[in-house]
Structure 1
Amino acid sequence: MLGKIVLFIVRMVLSLRYRISINGIDEIRKNNQDKGILFLPTHPALIDPVILMAWLFPLFKQRFLADRDQMKRPVIHFFAKYFKVIPIPDPIKYGKEEPENIKRSILKCAELLKEGRNVLIYPSGHILKNRFEQIAGNSALEKIHEYTDDFDIVLVKTQGLWGSAFSRSDGGYPSVEKILKKGLLFLLTNLIFFGPRRKVEISLYRKEDLPFEKGRIAVNKALENEFNEKAPLNTFVSYFWWNGYKTKVLPEPEKKSYKGNVDDISDSIKEIVLEFLKDLSGVKEIKLEHHLSKDLGLDSLKRVDITTWIESEFGFNVPNPDSLKKVSDVMFAASGETLSNEVKLLKKINNNWFKRSKLQRPYVNFDTITDCFLEKCKKAPDLVIAADQMVNTKTYRQLLMSIYVLKKNFSDINGQNVGLMLPAGVSSLISYLSLLFASKTPVMINWTVGKRNLLHSLEKTELEKIITSSLLVSKLEASGVDLESVKENFIYLEDIVLKVNVKSKIKALIASYFPSSFKVDNKPDDTAVVLFTSGSESLPKAVPLSHKNILTNVKDILNIVRLDKEDRLLGFLPPFHSFGITVTMMLTTLTGIKVVFYPNPTESGTLSKMVKHYGATIISGTPTFLSGILKAVSDDELETLRMVVTGAEKCPDSVYERFSERCPDASILEGYGITECSPVVSVNREKCIKKGSIGKVLPSVEYVIVDEAIKRRVEKGEKGMLLVSGDSIFSGYIKHDGDSPFVLFEGKNWYKTGDLVKEDENKILTFSGRLKRFIKLGGEMVSMPAIEEVILSCIDIEEEVEGPLIAVKAFGESNPELVLFTVVELDRETVNSFIRNAGLSGLHNIRKVIKIDEIPCLGTGKVNYRELSL
């Protein structure tokens, strides 16, 4: 009885906006032969399940298969439970964690049909992204039919909802809460009963000739053809009675495409990917343009398998499996190219984000990070300084309030060093500063380095606890990152926030009006952060950077780069990256420049939207991520940009060219940095940009370029090793038992970068290679000696062999690949299993194995890597 009343009310409410007509019901009921009915509807908008429930349930009592996360939402949870909705985990989100639960939900539908009950499932599994239904390789219908074929199939076509507020016709994802609030306002404005109605026509008809004998692809293609005949147009219907019933057909949402060049992908990656996809799909002839679903029959669960394989085989994370559409997309992902052009709906920004700053200019006046921050809190407490999509905006005063609450909790943590494992965001900024104000030393945890290196990092810094987020942990685990060995060390921010009571909030508010009360006794030479770097040694080294190191770097940047108090910087590099700490977090927050964070640097489509949404004038990031943004950008999304600061890897000419086309009045300032140098060592100046160079050395940094033996200075234009000294250079590694990173030259101690450069007559440096044997992949340093050490420890040979057994060398500049040369019989799969079992990430995997008779050696007995060639 309650259900009837509820559905009656729902129908009445819906009729205030929709004029709904349903065709074919009598025919379906008349011909029902006591079999279960499987309803297969189109899915133009979020509202159509509600409509189908309200109009069809009283007649057919059908059970719905629906997304579990949606069913957990307030109010919806009650109705889902009452009407016995069958929840299914989203395969894209939970395919790695819960494949059995997904199969169990589909099996439940099949069992109900076999019992003669009625079931409704959406064959596409998602609402329309454009006017055409896309079922592609989804396998739910096939799996149900394999279990039982004793049911009738009824197709349900809905016309009239594509273009509504509940649809994705504007390119974004609809926010139900916002739509309902606006809907209430529209109803009141129209005196409830007098608003224009949107015409919705629903047609039901049996489908008896689906070609199940030809397989999933044929069945899904037949369904698509049925659904997409007379596909709906993007139709707008006026919301106000005084406009009458006026409709307008709007343009379809722009479909973003990835603009990478598949020719840039190495042949070895192409071969590996093609072999994997052949095994996974059973299709023998695979082409680059083949669609994973339509041509290879791979459903969403299989795409999750692909992302897991890419992470394991190549070390690159694919945050959104749904971004893999074609075979070429898999190849781009395997080579570390940014793929995700899916654009998330951005939340509205508080208007105060765009208010002008009362500060005169960006500056720092003090010798510690905490003192610099407190000075800005005194000078401009109500200035909005930081933003992201989670917390919207934060003023200096609001940051202080949060710091007040967290520092009390952080003070109680055992040990001086406390780990911090968070992505770029306001929460990571607050947590970092809170640790400093709690007189703790923040240790930034890099979750991308693999289990072995992660455990070593904890041991090196004697970490007992790591501040993190349960949301981040669940996402990382869902993407295949193994955190089980360190989870006992985690303290979740969400748990701390839940314990904050009203009394604490009031105290925090009062304290925020007295910034001086936050002052702590930090010294310039005290450690402000510990980062980790992988050099030529086999395990990460712990790099302590002092307040003086970081602030010296910040002051240098302020002296040579034209920054304005009205600048707004978009930062997405994680805080375990030295560039993320110094440039994204400290250069902004300590100087009064606004910063907006985004946690995922691989979501290029959303990042390009973020630039326009927040009016960003500066981007800081690596060339890889900048390239992704330029490939995903459309229209005028980057028109507010005036500068890009980039480093960590060589910026390709193609990025310069694309950026110049998109932003002709803006500049790319390419530079060079090392974690041990806080990190910026050199950068191009706006008025003196030399494309392909790393610019001039910073004012506070002394440098000398010497020969590889460190005996003499090299001549201008001659390649040599860069030695540096200055207040931004660290003091030495923590608990380091290897060679000193410093060398004595001309009576002075210098940090030995291990990097080769050339200097022209204008003192502009050009990067020329590395002495240390490591390469940069996915923004991470990958050590070749570490790989050799692991492989050698796993080789078991019966006969003694003279000379080296193996050697690892990298080939290629823009997309370097690791090649193993060996005198013993080894295959790539075996070698990579050694690497994986040792806890190294997939970035360390070998791409090709070459068997040779002898590893070439120098007179000293060391491997002559220059002689190794493909």
Structure 2
Amino acid sequence: MNLSDRLQETAEQHAGKTAYHFMDQSASYAELNGAVNKMANYLTEAGVKKGDHVGLLLGNSPHFVISMYAVMRIGATVIPINPIYTPDEIAYILRDGDVKVVVALDLLLPLVEKAHAALPGIVQYVICETAPDAHEKIAALPEAVKGKVTAFMHATGTQSPLYQGPDIDEEDTAIILYTSGTTGKPKGAMLSHKNVFSNAKDVAEYLNITGEDRVVTALPMFHVFALTVVLNAPLINGGTMLIVPRFSPKDVFDVVQKHKATVFAGVPTMYNFLLQYPEATGESFESVRLCISGGASLPVALLHQFEGKFNVRVSEGYGLSEASPVTCFNPLDRERKAGSIGTSITNVENKIVNELGEEVPPGEVGELIVRGPNVMKGYYKMPEETAAAIRDGWLYTGDLAKQDEEGYFFIVDRKKDMVIVGGYNVYPREVEEVLYEHEAITEAAVVGVPDMNYGEAVHAFVVSKDPSLTKEDLLAFCSSKLAKYKLPTVIEFIDELPKNTTGKILRRALRDQVRQG
């Protein structure tokens, strides 16, 4: 069984059941499955074959759900990409991921025009219409570009709602998720059909997500947390997605109350904004039976304040792209421990090991490693990185953790030096590389600092040989090369970076300097 087959099965058994609500639209499982088949037929006509790669540059919408399931149904591989990435970041993933077809927002048409010459391997762009003048903008494209561009509605409008696809093996690659690497360039984690189906099924079972649930889908769909927990998990059991185009406290509360939502999932930043929303009352989440938190550590004080105000349980969990992503959640049938990421979910093993790979006793800190049907096949075109990450069947997360006597895990520290801004991973090396590209910068170091709204923020220390260089100059330089959430909120000019005797930059000293400053 895989996700595509399961959707087909649900559409046959519960044809009239609502699969999703989106703004003023809704669709039954039969309608969703028919739309998936239409898109699969179009992509096949466009030359997409089993094993090809299709990039999705989309926000939260039915377009994303339909396109993702259509690509998997063909036996091709989905590569979701954050649409707010800069052109350079997007181009790298499209090129490295060997993408053949792109499904994108109409807002990205200017990027499509530029990509035509830079990325000749892409044979077709399917543009999802969100603006009233989308068709006019497509029509205004140069003829050479226009031949590769088709509107989503036009592409699927004349296709059959029936589709007979190829046989799909559970080990075939379903999704490649690009995750920023500590070495600078993003790495593509290859997730098989077995990986993503098993994790959606096991998460749904562990959190008791059923066909009766109405799940708020406000997390960005291109992110693995959303893919499994608020998209695939509800669909796998015939639940209903309540799709929110982009997160805002007002929209979330409106959707919860209008559709009597039962499950909400978000990163700590979302919980902070919901808690602070002035019009929210204790009854605003009255229908919600479970809130799920992930993406970053949820401050215990925030957890207690949120639960106290809205009278709803918040279950914190843990995951990473390489594990599809979920490995732990606080169980629903036992004690919820504040500050803990919970216990191993169904069919997944977590354990804490020392530097020799030996399991350590409860209470002792070590590296968290994971084994299960959810662990990735490896990194795309990176055999050495794959061998370093997966050893003897265990995925080494790089996170320091400990386990108590009852099997609950606690993250002690995150991957070395990583900064988490609103649930998104920012690796200092990537930001530093961009800073070093500026001709006036001789040294640069980036650390994470506490931020009330986003959990953490990016703080950059730079050494410049040009005394006239300003923070504004550097931010303008970086903004064309980095997504907004990766940009430094503070740039501090110093004479020299602190280093140890071997010349290694002492990041801890920089963090201490920020705290003392």
Return the offset for 1:449: 2.8
Q: 1:574 to 1:405 in 2, by over 3 A?
A: same
Q: Does 1:450 align with 2:99?
A: no
> 5 Å matches for 1:343-742?
367-390=1-24, 392-414=25-47, 416-470=52-106, 472-473=107-108, 485-486=114-115, 490-494=125-129, 495-498=151-154, 504=158, 508=161, 511=162, 518=164, 520-601=166-247, 603-632=248-277, 633-635=279-281, 636-664=283-311, 666-686=312-332, 687-707=334-354, 709-710=355-356, 712-736=358-382, 739-740=385-386, 742=388
Matched, 1:812 2:439: no
Distance in 2 separating the partners of 1:854 and 1:539:
24
Contact 2:463 2:495 in 1 (8 A): yes
Unaligned runs of 5+ in 2: 130-150
Correspondence 1:864 to 2:503: no
User: Does the 8 Å contact 2:389/2:395 carry over to 1?
Assistant: yes
SS in 2 for 1:815: strand
1:718 Cα deviation from its structure 2 partner: 2.4
Partner of 2:136: none
TM-score, length-scaled by structure 1:
0.51
Q: Helix, strand or coil: the match of 1:588?
A: helix
Give the superposition deviation at 1:525.
0.8
SS in 2 for 1:729: coil
Q: CA deviation at 1:784?
A: 0.6
Q: Deviation at 1:741?
A: 5.6
* Cα distance in 1, alignment partners of residues 500 and 108 from structure 2: 46
Shift of 1:840: 5.3
Sort the Cα spacing of 1:716 and 1:544 in 2 relative to 1 into closer, same or farther, 3 A.
same
Q: Is the 8 A contact 1:621 1:646 kept in 2?
A: yes
**Which residue of 742, 759, 762 maps to 2:403?**
759
1:199-214 correspondence to structure 2 within 5 Å: none
How far apart, CA to CA, are the structure 2 residues paired with 1:443 and 1:743?
21
Q: Do the aligned partners of residues 612 and 486 (structure 1) sit closer, same or farther apart at CA in structure 2, a change above 3 Å counting?
A: farther
CA contact (8 A) 2:458 2:487 kept: no
Equivalent position of 1:75 in the other structure: none
CA distance in 2, matches of 1:854, 1:586: 46
What does 1:30-429 align with in structure 2 at a 5 Å threshold? 367-390=1-24, 392-414=25-47, 416-429=52-65
Q: Which amino acid aligns with 1:867?
A: A
- 1:560 CA drift (Å): 2.1
Judging by fraction of residues, say which structure has more strand: 2
Q: How far, CA to CA, are the matches of 1:598 and 1:446 in structure 2?
A: 16
> Pick from 761, 783, 790: which aligns with 2:434?
790
CA positional deviation for 1:523:
1.1
Contact kept in structure 2, 1:743 and 1:749, CA below 8 Å: no
In structure 1, how many angstroms separate the alpha carbons of the residues matched to 2:33 and 2:485? 40
> Could you list the per-position Cα deviations for residues 813-848 of structure 1 after superposition, in whole angstroms to 9, with x for gaps in the alignment?
733331315385664334334423545545232513
Q: Tell me which moved more, 818-827 or 394-403.
A: 818-827
Q: Determine the structure 2 residue equivalent to 1:361.
A: none
CA contact (8 A) 1:535 1:781 kept: no
CA distance in structure 2 between the partners assigned to 1:497 and 1:837 by the alignment: 32
Equivalent in the alignment of 2:135:
none
**Distance in 1 separating the partners of 2:289 and 2:75:** 38
Q: Give the superposition deviation at 1:693.
A: 1.3
Residue 408 of structure 2 corresponds to residue 773 of structure 1:
no
Aligned-partner Cα distance in 2 for 1:537–1:484:
31
Q: Indicate how the Cα distance of structure 1 residues 499 and 698 shifts in structure 2: closer, same or farther if over 3 A, else same.
A: closer
CA contact (8 A) 1:742 1:750 kept: no
CA distance in 2, matches of 1:593, 1:716: 38
Which structure is higher in RCO with an 8 Å CA cutoff and minimum separation 6? 2
Give the whole-Å Cα distance in 2 for the aligned partners of 1:483 and 1:653. 44
Give the drift of 1:524.
0.6
Answer yes or no: is 1:832 the counterpart of 2:451.
no
Mapped partners of 1:399, 1:837: distance in 2: 38
Q: Give aligned-pair identity as a percent.
A: 24
- State which of 494, 499, 510 in structure 2 corresponds to 1:851: 494
Find the aligned partners of 1:750 and 1:742 in 2 and give their Cα distance.
Answer: 11
Give me the TM-score of the superposition, normalised by structure 2.
0.84
Give the 3 Å change call, closer, same or farther, for CA 812–821 of structure 1 in structure 2: farther
Alignment check: 8 A CA contact 1:565 1:593 kept:
yes
In the alignment of these two chains, the number of paired residues is 474
Confirm or deny: 8 A CA contact 2:86 2:481 kept in the other structure. no
2: distance between equivalents of 1:684 and 1:378?
A: 34
Kept in 1, the 8 Å contact 2:371–2:395? The answer is yes
Equivalent position of 1:254 in the other structure: none
| Residue pair 2:202, 2:345 contacting (<8 A) in 1 also | yes
Q: CA RMSD in A?
A: 2.7
Question: CA deviation digits over 1:450-496, x for unaligned, max 9?
Answer: 222211100111123211232x548xx8xxxx776447863214424
Secondary structure of the structure 1 residue equivalent to 2:316: strand
C-alpha separation between the residues in 2 aligned to 1:794 and 1:737? 32
Unaligned runs of 5+ in 1: 1-366, 512-516, 798-803
